[in-house]
Amino acid sequence: MQGIYILANDKVTENSIALLNSIRYYDSETPIVMIPYNNEYQKIAELISSKFGVTVYEDLPFLDYLDNLVKSCGNNFFDRPNLLRKLACWFGPFDEFLYIDTDIVVFEKIIANLTHLSDYDFLCYDYQYRSGITQVFQEKIREIYSEEDLKDVFNTGFWGSKKNLISQQDLSDLFSFCSANPDYFYLLNSDQTIINYLILNKTKKRLNLSRQSTKLPGNWAGSKHFQEENHRLIDPNTNLPLKFIHWAGVRIEPKGAYGNIWEYYRYLNEDNLPPDVITPQTNQFQRVINKLKNKLKF
């Protein structure tokens, strides 16, 4: 079974709605599971369950197990340690899965990218490698991995893999190693440094879609050259639509980078918009048209 995981709590409800609206716009069927970021998730769980059919990660004791593994490294060892709950993806209900951060909206049936897992054990679509190991590892990591290996570093906001590729023993070994060798890791990006190390250490068959021979569009909201077209974004460097847009490190706001795109998906299928977010793309007439289109789409 294939599916999508997100990590969320009540604090990121607005972003979660935008992401889930975009997923459901192109795909009404793929199951989605929310991994609670912390214990403050009851409100968002109720909302996205009724609105999008999202279920909560069932094995809550396993999340406690992960938390305890993280704590075994010491208090304040990691920055934002709850992000490491992403590791639960390998132990959840889906045989093949995508993980997607909530500061993303997608522009296609995104689960279709899992077809690559017929040939690979791990996939991502990211340009982190262009910045080298910055914000992923410390320089000492070069003692362990070759320059070629380190070209596979990635942002952990969007990636896919297979259930049971990672074992609980792997996790135990990982955190023991990290605790004993913190000078390899960039601990201010808890999930990024740990999951990158885990993938480099445990998988050989890994694919970064951005490094294929065919040039593909970008996906970072910090890139200013994308063009809006029918509530999607086009990369003029490739003349191809983006698969998704990721606001990693970029503030999401109405007048900010691609704010119209975020607003469109956040308020998709809603009749009443807050006055301060109404844009030319979301006036009353356009909302009526969009609502009719969505009904026909499904």
Q: Look up the CATH number of the domain holding residue 59.
A: 3.90.550.10
Are 62 and 200 in the same domain?
Answer: yes
- Rounded CA-CA distance 134/269 in Å is 40
Are 257 and 201 in the same domain?
Answer: no
Mean pLDDT of 184-194: 95
Are 178 and 263 in the same domain?
Answer: no
Q: What's the structural domain count of the chain?
A: 2
Please report the sign of the dihedral spanned by the C-alpha atoms of residue 257, residue 16, residue 281, residue 241: positive
Are 15 and 86 in the same domain?
Answer: yes
Are 198 and 270 in the same domain?
Answer: no
Give residue 250's domain range: 227-297
Beta strands 206-208; 122-124: pairing state: parallel
The model's pTM is 0.90
Residue type, 36: P
Does residue 218 form part of some domain? no
Are 137 and 28 in the same domain?
Answer: yes
Tell me, what's the pLDDT at 30?
98
Are 141 and 235 in the same domain?
Answer: no
Are 52 and 163 in the same domain?
Answer: yes
Contact partners, residue 204, CB within 8 Å, separation at least 6: 121
3 state DSSP class of 207 = strand
Q: What is the pLDDT of residues 235-269, one digit of tens each?
A: 999 999 999 999 999 999 988 999 999 999 999 98
Beta strands 227-229; 122-124: pairing state: unpaired
Tell me, what's the pLDDT at 131?
85
On whether the CB atoms of residues 141 and 133 are closer than 8 A, the answer is yes
Tell me, what's the pLDDT at 274?
61
Q: How much of the chain is in helix, strand and coil states, percent to nearest 5? A: 45, 15, 40
Mean pLDDT of 130-140: 92
Half-sphere exposure (Cβ direction) of 253: Cα atoms closer than 13 Å:
5
Are 278 and 164 in the same domain?
Answer: no
Are 117 and 52 in the same domain?
Answer: yes
Are 251 and 199 in the same domain?
Answer: no
- Rounded CA-CA distance 241/31 in Å is 25
